[in-house]
Amino acid sequence: MFKQAHLVLEDGSIHRGEAFGSESGGNGEVVFNTSMTGYQEVLTDPSYAGQLVTLTYPLVGNYGINREDFESRRIQVSGLIVREHCDQPSHTGADETLHEFLKSQNIPGISGVDTRAITRRLRNRGVMSGIITTESPESALERLAEATRYDDVDFVRTVTTDQDYSWDEPALELGAPGYRIVVTDCGLKYNILRLLRQRGCEVTAVPATMPAEEMLAMKPDGILLSPGPGDPQLLDYLVSNVQKLVGRVPMMGICLGHQILARAMGAQTFKLKFGHRGGNHPVKDLSDGRIYITAQNHGYAVSADSLPAGLEISHINLNDDTIEGLRHRELPVFTIQYHSEGSPGPHDNEYLFDRFLKLVQGAG
């Protein structure tokens, strides 16, 4: 039998449901994701660090949890909010239930709430702090008022790897190009490493705090700045580090990496009202006019009015016209705001890894 729980938002609204996973409670910035599948990938995506994630699809957990679909070494969200969670998954590959998975890592969940109402509230009022608790709503509001704001925390330092490591699967085939790609781990998803490896690259992930000189000493053919959580305005140490790399080696930035590269070249970022999170966002590639359906997870964007000379927009979001990609007219640099690694999907945008490797080849 699951205990009664509450989701309490900073605007004072209270959403009653049932606790599952850990009963310890948890607070963070409340956001919503519109994907219909992929809850395991969402839970283990480091870009969600410090956030309580509301899944708009009504049934979650029906295919359980397996050992193949992790996108990092652990659960990264601070809590999970669902309409209904399934405690009897039906899939031959399932190793445990969603409830067991959350409980094993002390992550709270709440089910039985109206996720449509929560999503509408966030769309109308913007993302806000919240708390999942089995305590009284009044106590929760007091704790929430004293909690550190999401925008004030450098979450990259909490999710990045402690030391560099190689990604060796699958094994390289004879005749593979063997480009040496260094991936700065700002909160990367494993599928980035998988896709680079599948394209014949020697892949090494390094801490976000590794100095530029140490990265260059590894003699990379290209450097990729990964996605990650939090406000890019808090990451001046990363921005100054990237400034030492731009123009010296071909570079690609994804999501937070896109924002960091943009800031390193003089652009500014701003916070979106409720962010882009899900697997169904339409993006236009301005080079050929083609429309792609993309996976996204970001709460900040690059300001189009702040772009310096030489940096131009390559992709736009067709929902709100925000920047979804940049390229430099002269330097071997390009970025995308969405997730070309698309795990769990869609996979329409993996071509951007091929574009990156052509950039690497052209600079060789």
CATH code assigned at 357 = 3.40.50.880
Q: Specify the DSSP class assigned to residue 160.
A: S
Encoded amino acid at 162, one letter:
D
Ramachandran assignment for 243, one of left (phi > 0), alpha (psi -120 to 50 degrees), beta (any other): alpha
Query: Looking at residue 239, what is its pLDDT?
Result: 98
Residue 20: pLDDT band (50, 70, 90) is very high
- For residues 267 and 243, membership in a common domain is answered with yes
339 given a catalytic annotation: yes
C-alpha to C-alpha distance for 249 and 258, rounded to whole angstroms:
16
Name the residue with higher pLDDT: 13 or 2.
Answer: 13
Whole domain around residue 81: which residue ranges? 4-151
What sign has the CA pseudo-torsion 42, 43, 48, 51?
Answer: positive
Q: Catalytic: 341?
A: yes
- Where a domain ends, among 120, 151, 182? 151
User: What number is the average pLDDT over the span 4-33?
Assistant: 95
Backbone angles phi, psi at 25, to 5 degrees: 85, 160
- Domain boundary among the residues 118, 151, 184 is at 151
Residue 269 φ/ψ, nearest 5 degrees: -120, 160
Residue type, 178: G
Alpha carbons 341 and 172: distance in angstroms, whole number: 19
**179 shares its domain with 294:** yes
What total of structural domains would you count in the chain? 2
Strand partners, 225: 184, 253
- Same domain? For 127 and 167 the reply is no
Report which of 345, 354, 352 is spatially closest to residue 324, judged by C-alpha positions: 352
CB-side neighbour CA atoms (13 Å) of 140: 26
| % of the chain surpassing 90 pLDDT | 92
Closest CA to 328 of 313, 317, 315, 316: 313
Q: Are residues 288 and 177 in the same domain?
A: yes
Bridge partners (DSSP) of residue 297 are 277
Question: Of 41, 71, 85, 255, which one is the catalytic site residue?
Answer: 255
- The per-residue pLDDT for 363 is 73
Share the mean pLDDT of the chain: 95
Judgement on whether residues 274 and 348 belong to the same structural domain of the protein: yes
Q: Is 229 helix (H, G, I), strand (E, B) or coil?
A: coil
Do 349 and 300 fall into the same domain?
Answer: yes
User: What pTM was computed for the model?
Assistant: 0.95
Indicate whether 178 and 131 sit together in one domain. no
Identify whether 347 is a catalytic site residue: no
SS3 sequence, 43-83? HCCHHHCCEEEEECCCEECCCCECCCCCCCCCCCCCEEECC
The token duo for 297 is 């997870």
Q: Cα–Cα distance between 353 and 224 in angstroms, integer?
A: 10
Q: What average pLDDT score do residues 198-211 get?
A: 97
Instruction: Calculate what percentage of the chain has a pLDDT beyond 70.
Output: 99
Q: With a cut of 80, say whether residue 1 has pLDDT above it.
A: no
Strand order of the sheet with strand 323-328? 165-167, 202-207, 180-185, 222-225, 251-254, 333-336, 323-328, 311-317, 269-285, 291-302
Q: Same structural domain for residues 37 and 88?
A: yes
Residue 71: pLDDT over 90: yes
H or E stretch at 205: strand 202-207
Locate the DSSP E strands across 248-322: 251-254, 269-285, 291-302, 311-317
Using 50, 70 and 90 to split pLDDT, how confident is the model at 171?
confident
Please report, to the nearest 10 degrees, the dihedral formed by the alpha carbons of residues 148, 273, 234, 56 taken in order: 70
Residue 210 in this model has a pLDDT that exceeds 90: yes
Based on the domain organization, do 243 and 352 belong to the same domain?
A: yes
